[in-house]
Amino acid sequence: MEMLEIPLAISLLVFGWATFTTVFTRNKNNKKLSNEIVNRPENRQVELKKKVTRLLIDILFTTVLLSLSIIYFIFNPNPIISLILLFGLFQLILEMIKRIIVFTSLRVYYEEELNSLYVLTVFDVKKYPLAEATEIEIHSRVDVLRLFPLFTMFNSTADFTTEMGRTVKISFPGEKVFINIPENQLEIIDRDSSDISEQKESTDAINEKEVLPFYHRKNLKRLIGKGYFAVTVKGVGAYATLLLILSLLNVEVWIKITAIVVFWIFNLLISDRIIKIALDVEKITDEEVLEVGRKIFKRANLPNITLYQTETADFNGFAAGANIGRSIITLTTETLKLPLEAIEGILAHEAIHVKKRDVLIGQLMRFVSMGIVIAIIFLFKDFFEKQTMVLYFVVWILMMIFPAIYSLFTQWMEVRADHLGATLLDDGNVQMANSLKQLAMKQDEAIENSEQYNIDDEKENSSDKKMSSINRDKWFIRLLEFQFFSHPPMYWRIQSLEESFCNWDRKKLKNWCVDRFKESIPDKVIKYFAK
């Protein structure tokens, strides 16, 4: 092992341990709480059928997707890159181990008096009040292409499926639960509840949906698209494989670089198609939303924008596609539940991202920044041959600087989209500020609801203070949000809109730069120097 590989290996061990403790975090009262639920006479166990086939499919997908990086590691054309690839492998392997443990330890109980499901695993004890369910749907089989973590961008889904048969999807505020409840016990979810009574009155039954097997010919495009998304967007396996092939062919460095760049450009050009498949998007059919979209896009002079929706418990909206003529704007199903004025503000914000080609610019900045870091590793490796520790620390400093620089550009684009987007709205800055406020408050509420499903004695005795992203936080949190996150803090974005005129100019850019610095410093320090 070369000298430079030693500190990288140490970092890998540290990262692996940190990832392990994060992935396998468990409630220390878990055993006590589980025993209490199991021993209550009023709770009856839901007899789950656990079939190893369900688990093997997840293992198969994980193995296939990881094999690209593993092959590179085995052939080992470059030890440094192999070690860097292991950082990602650690995370995915540990997640798969956790999935196996959850599968084997999963138990479900039902309490009739409270009309609640209790889901017990080694890691968590969760309570899902069925009266709070907003939708209940039965699928003919498990939709593994929707549930497999590497095949989607959102993580607000709780996968408790244990077989490939009929699956119940229960939508709660902040979380969607998928579970295999035996048919002879489905009466526990068939009780009336205040939130879904309307749905039941109109259908007289719980909605049922036909789901095709993932290997069905009609799912082939979806399977390939999601697999491609997993290895190119959520991982680097495709790039590692390309680099491996070029290394085995012993081609010149410039050919390798050219091939990587061409492959990246190709992925950028088809990004809108891949995102549509990965997120299982559907065209929005709500005529009121479409009319609002047409009005905004006409004002922005964007004639060819298609509106899509994707099902998730998150509140979000985003633009995709590097080409204005093929760009898409996607809203989550929860976002579509906001008032129409708020949806209009979100669409105006995303329309500016499309008009200014922010998707393309953002990817270019990411690619160039990462390219610079990788180039320094290779170009200066020989220069620092006898001072490998120096190079090691230089590389890690660059890796720390990279997200800060990337954040600088992405936040600039977000602030610009807020203020230019406001010019497309009838009520300007006021409407945009209210749109962001409603989006943030609903997302905070969803996160809080999701956390409340976890039963924890300590949480019950803790402060009742609710989280709020529209309130100014402590300075260290502000430092992280302003200097390393892709979006400025929501409280600042709303305040910036409320305290300025409806336009975008150098003064606003200057104000953002100043606030980005000042808000990252403790208030005591600012007051001290202001004396």
| Cα(393)–Cα(371) distance, integer angstroms | 18
φ, ψ for residue 44 (rounded to 5)?
Answer: -115, 140
**Which one from 175, 350, 414, 519 is the annotated catalytic residue?**
350
H-state helical runs in 453-522? 457-461, 475-484, 490-498, 506-518
Q: Is the pLDDT of residue 236 over 60?
A: no
User: Taking 70 as the threshold, does the pLDDT of residue 85 lie above it?
Assistant: no
Q: What is the pLDDT of residues 302-359, one digit of tens each?
A: 888 889 999 988 899 998 876 666 788 999 999 999 999 999 999 999 999 999 988 8
Three-class DSSP category at 332: strand
484 vs 521: CA distance, rounded Å = 14
- pLDDT tens digits along 444-492: 988 888 888 888 744 544 445 566 888 988 889 999 999 989 899 999 9
Residues of the chain above pLDDT 90, percent: 36
- The three-state secondary structure class of 306 is strand
Clarify whether 2 is annotated catalytic: no
Which has the higher per-residue pLDDT, 4 or 304?
A: 304
Confidence check: pLDDT of 191 > 90: no
- Is residue 528 over pLDDT 70? yes
Rounded CA separation 191/133 (Å): 11
Q: To which residue do tokens 């489905």 refer?
A: 186
Query: Among all chains, which residue has been given the structure tokens 């620089």?
Result: 405
* Residue 520 backbone dihedrals phi, psi, to 5 degrees: -90, 5
pLDDT of 127-166, one tens digit each? 999 888 888 899 999 999 999 988 888 777 899 999 999 9
| Range 396-399 contact pairs with CB under 8 angstroms and sequence separation of 24 or more | 396/11, 398/372, 398/373, 399/373
